[in-house]
Amino acid sequence: MVVEQSREVLDEIERVTIGHYDASAEGFWLGTRDHDVRQNIEALLAALPAEGPLDILDFGCGPGRDLHAFKQLGHRPVGLDGSAEFCAMARQHSGCTVLQQQFLSLDIGEQCFDGIFANASLFHVPSQQWPQVLTDCYTALRQNGVLFMSVPRGDAEGWQGDRYGTYQQFEKIQQLLQRAGFKVLDHYYRPPGLPRQQQPWLAILSQR
């Protein structure tokens, strides 16, 4: 079910959610810098037709952990985040170009990237804006480029403290991706090796 909201409400959602991350940027970095997301990074790279170096957009890059990882692997990553604090930290931690852009007003070009890595970021997009954001990602990818996303799965939308989230199951996201023009390649649940009820994260790979 899509929650219809006014432009003013959407702006408020972004303002408050970004403000939360600006205010907690250092704590967020300390709490997530050692998270092991190699499974997700390797899944994106394995799905791409070229070996590299690849142009990769880290969509919602946060303080720059994964930007650094892609750079260390010999690729050409570019970060994007709405939080000014995160953008500054990501530049410092990775030495990469980082774009400060809000997810609901993206300007990421046409056929600029081989891959887009959206790890724990797209779920902050309100449901009514998913079609536009996915279309922006599709347009920004080169032919056969791949979008990776990791999102918390569920059936809800709304606030959790000062962060807004949209929680969906695979079947719904698959429909949205297909409507945007993507071919869904694969999906899996995380953390690996646990029963499904203990795997709150859904990862999806889709191709332009």
Inform me whether the pLDDT recorded for 204 exceeds 90: yes
Per-residue pLDDT at 2 exceeds 90: no
Distances (CA, A) of 138 to 54, 60, 81, 83, 196: 17, 16, 18, 23, 30
Mean residue pLDDT across the chain: 96
When pLDDT is averaged across residues 86-99 and rounded to a whole number, the result is 97
pLDDT band (50, 70, 90) for residue 107:
very high
What whole-number distance in Å separates Cα of residue 192 and Cα of residue 53? 28
Q: Mean pLDDT lowest for which of 2-6, 39-43, 100-104, 162-166?
A: 2-6
- Is domain 7-207 in CATH 3.40.50.150, yes or no? yes
**30-45 mean pLDDT:** 94
> In this model, does residue 1 exceed pLDDT 80?
no
pLDDT-derived band at 61, boundaries 50, 70, 90? very high
pLDDT band, residue 3 (cuts 50/70/90): confident
**Mean pLDDT confidence for 124-134:** 98
Q: Are 146 and 203 in contact (CB under 8 A)?
A: no
Q: Compute the residue count for the chain.
A: 208
Check pLDDT > 90 for residue 41: yes
Q: Is the pLDDT of residue 51 over 80?
A: no
Q: What is the pLDDT of residue 174?
A: 98
Q: How confident is the model at residue 196 (pLDDT cuts 50, 70, 90)?
A: very high
Tokens describing residue 35? 């998270």
Is residue 37 within 8 Å of 119, Cβ to Cβ? Answer: yes
- Give the pLDDT band of residue 49 (cuts 50, 70, 90): confident
Predicted local distance difference test score (pLDDT) of residue 105: 96
Question: Domain coordinates of the chain in residue numbers?
Answer: 7-207
Residues in a beta bridge with 46: none
Query: φ and ψ at 163, to 5 degrees?
Result: -120, 135
